[in-house]
Amino acid sequence: MPAPRYALRPLPLTAVTIDDAFWNPRLQTNREVTLPAQYAMCRDTGRIAAMAGTWQPGQPQEPHIFWDSDVGKWVEAACHSLATHPDAAFRQQVDDLVGLIAAQQQPDGYLNSHYTLVEPQNRWTNLRDCHELYCAGHLIEAAVAHFQATGDRRLLDVMCRYADYIGQVFGRGPNQRRGYCGHEEIELALIKLHQVTGETRYLELATYFVDERGREPFYFDIEASERRSRGLGEVFPGVWAHGYAYGQAHRPLREQSEVAGHAVRAFYIYSAMVDVAALTGDAGLLAACHRLWRDVTERKMYVTGAVGPSAHNEGFTSAYDLPNESAYAETCANIALLFFAHRLLQVDGDSRYADVMERLLYNGTISGVSLDGTRFFYTNPLASAGAVERQDWFGCACCPPNLARLLASLGSYAYSASERRLWVHLYLGGQARFAMGSTAVLLEQRTDYPWSGRIDLAIDLPVPRAFDLMLRLPGWCHRHRLQVNGESQEAPIVKGYLKVHRRWQAGDRVRLVLDMPVERVAAHPRVIANAGRLALQRGPVVYCLEQIDNQAPVRSLAIADADKVQPRWAGDLLGGVMVLHGAALAEPEEAWSGSLYRSGRPDRCQRVPFVAVPYATWNNRGPGEMAVWVRRA
């Protein structure tokens, strides 16, 4: 296996302009509604007061161990928004908060509101449970985003000081702790800090945290013994009761083959593993990433791209265990899998990673926020008896700002470039600016994706230039048509991308048409929850049946293979969506009057119309039954 490296480089967020009928309303709502609402929640719940250091013992709203991470994610999201949509008043709000964070830093570089204000004597005594390094990671990511958006180094310098202090505390040197965080995150943040500063010590620290995890003697045992000797109690002993796989610390990471434990933690550390492998040339570490990718995508991922079936550990159980109504499928976990996919994509240039990224973007991530941008899902089940509803906030509020930062940075996932190639990963309207050698190139994309499979691209550049335009051929697409300047063209497929090579000149036009029939999706036969059931998908969009649109109980409907299911545009529904119409079989409730069991009588079934809507839009019209997987007649 060749030494790993980044074969692709994502185009910067500021090099991509999104002008897209599907995404623009969501991105505008994220900027104008969600971010202000989340700031207000951080203020009203005491998170910002904690960062300001104004809380005093005995007062309400005692700073929690993970509050800093919520503030960090909000700052990062706000800075991504500022990078693409400058706003003076919003910039001032962000800068004021940056000033509060900077003022909270301690003389030695330490920065954590809980341990500074509540129990300063107990720093670093419980890495397993208490999120110190996790919070540091999210503040580091905020600092990188703030610097990239504004050019202001204040927060970046603060977090460099903190990272340098952490590098003094942890490591394999004399008087250093050989520890790592129970909730991974700092590892991928340190990679970002390395990339923006060029300082190799941050890459080395990230590599240490990746390499040290899972080594014996287990650090969590060592620190637990130290806590007992000091008379300190446990915080979350129950979640670790089944072993250190909960935090992916049961064995060294490069030896792992099965995705296990808490889903968010898992994909944060797997994302860091890809980065470390690419930047250090560690082929063994990258091989572990590939094994873990195969395990999750072939045995442990929902049709919506969501991951983590169990509420018990907020994560994984066994292969093919994918229940629908009890699915945990945490929004943060789905976002974390997207991070993992995006990083593997930059190393391998293989469309299978972009396919999962797309599946998540149109289904398992944006389902986490209401269309009006004010209410959120922590979990994303694939069936509901009617009791599930979004909430305006959570005591553990990791998901809302995580989703806000993903949406605000959407453009950075759309394209990648190399010396002689431009990869188009996502089909969304707008423009991309990049360089091929010394030549500046503008690519304009126009499409009604995901409702239509037609994508039109226009090239503008000052002088002719030869390069490859790599257009992703989605895994769900079985037929496509390609034209260049109005003429049909065949193009070789390289790792799932159509390779369109020519000497491009201003005015060149490319049209790609992806056939988008309604597909009946079946699950692997070992997914017991979906035995005898099917799901409906059109293009990248997975559909569900909501009770509000259907007469018969949606979880009792059965769809026959021979019955046609037709797409139909509904401009006045859910902000404008493509819905699916068809006929299903339903047995009238009265046929079961007085009976719990009886002999089957298919002749008693009636044909009833059904309507299916995009899964990501469910629960925007009040509570009610919902099902993604329906019986197959």
Residue 160 annotated as catalytic: no
Determine the pLDDT at residue 603.
Answer: 67
The answer to whether 48 and 100 have CB atoms below 8 angstroms apart is yes
Q: Is 113 helix (H, G, I), strand (E, B) or coil?
A: helix
DSSP string, 352-417: HHHHHHHHIIIIITGGGB-TTSS-B-SS--SEESS----BS--SS--HHHHHHHHHHTGGGGTEEE
Alpha-helix runs per DSSP H in 170-307: 186-197, 200-212, 219-229, 263-280, 283-299
Mean pLDDT of 213-229: 95
Compute the distance between CA of residue 338 and CA of residue 414 in angstroms, rounded to an integer.
12
Specify which of 314-318, 586-590, 604-608 reaches the highest per-range mean pLDDT.
314-318
398 is catalytic: yes
pLDDT band at 492 (very low <50, low <70, confident <90, very high): very high
Tokens of 151: 């050019």
The predicted structure's pLDDT at residue 602: 65
Count how many Cα atoms sit within 13 Å of the Cα of residue 87 in the half-sphere of its side chain: 14
What was the pLDDT predicted at 555?
87
Gap between the Cα atoms of 280 and 7, Å rounded: 14
Please give the share of the chain, as a percent, with pLDDT higher than 70: 99
User: Residue 524 corresponds to which tokens in the numbers above?
Assistant: 């692997």
Which element (helix H / strand E) includes 117?
A: helix 113-117
Q: Which two tokens stand for residue 407?
A: 């949406």
Fold adopted by 417-514: Immunoglobulin-like (2.60.40)
Cβ atoms of 65 and 131 within 8 Å: the answer is: yes
Find the mean pLDDT for residues 526-533: 98
Which pLDDT score is estimated for 1?
A: 44
Residue with the two structure tokens 């697409």 = 477
611, two tokens: 């309507």
Q: Please check the confidence at residue 179 and state whether its pLDDT lies above 70.
A: yes
CB 16 within 8 A of CB 414: yes
Give CA–CA dist 496/445, Å, rounded: 20
What is the C-alpha separation between 441 and 289, in angstroms, rounded?
A: 34
Strands 493-494 and 630-632: unpaired
Provide the pairing of β-strand 509-514 with 480-484. Answer: antiparallel
User: Percent of the chain beyond pLDDT 90?
Assistant: 93
Spatial neighbors of 557 by CB under 8 A, at least 6 apart, are 545, 550, 584, 585, 586, 608, 610, 630, 631
CA–CA dist 425, 414 (Å, integer): 5
Residue partners of 119: CB distance under 8 A and separation at least 6? none
Average pLDDT for 599-616: 87
**Length of the chain in residues, anyone?**
633
Q: Which tens digits make up the pLDDT trace of 181-197? A: 999 999 999 999 999 99
DSSP state of 314: T
Q: How far apart are the first and last CA of the chain?
A: 48
Tokens found for residue 608: 């009833």
Contact 364, 315 (CB under 8 A): no
Question: Which of 43-47, 300-304, 465-469, 559-563 is predicted least confidently?
Answer: 559-563
Torsion of CA 593, 597, 599, 603, to 10 degrees: 40
**For position 196, what pLDDT does the model report?**
98
Exactly one of 79, 398, 399, 544 is catalytic; name it. Answer: 398
Tens-digit pLDDT profile for residues 362-410 = 999 999 999 999 999 999 999 999 999 999 999 999 999 999 999 999 9
| Candidate from 280-294, 391-405, 550-564 with smallest mean pLDDT | 550-564
Helix (H, G, I), strand (E, B) or coil at 37: helix
Across residues 484-507, what is the average pLDDT? Answer: 98
Collapsing DSSP to helix, strand or coil, 432 comes out as: strand
Average pLDDT, the chain: 96
Residue 560, pLDDT > 60, answer yes
Two tokens, residue 86 = 């400058």
Task: List the structure tokens of 364.
Answer: 């398992």
What's the mean pLDDT in 13-22? 98
- Of 132, 141, 223, 314, the catalytic one is 314
Mean per-residue pLDDT, 475-501: 98
Rounded to an integer, what distance in angstroms lies between the CA atom of residue 626 and that of residue 382?
Answer: 8
Please state, in angstroms and rounded to a whole number, the distance separating the CA atoms of residues 618 and 368: 10
Q: What is the pLDDT of residues 565-595, one digit of tens each?
A: 999 999 999 999 999 999 999 988 877 788 8
Q: What pLDDT shows up at residue 238?
A: 73
Per-residue pLDDT, averaged over 497-524, amounts to: 98
**199-209 pLDDT per residue, tens:** 999 999 999 99
Q: Provide CB contacts within 8 A for 115, sequence distance 6+.
A: 122, 123, 132
- Domain extents for the chain? 1-44+258-384+406-413, 59-232, 417-514, 518-632
User: Contact at 8 Å (CB) between 29 and 301?
Assistant: no
Q: How far apart are CA 453 and CA 565, in angstroms?
A: 18
* pLDDT given at position 588: 82
- Asked whether 261 and 277 are in contact (CB, 8 A), the reply is no
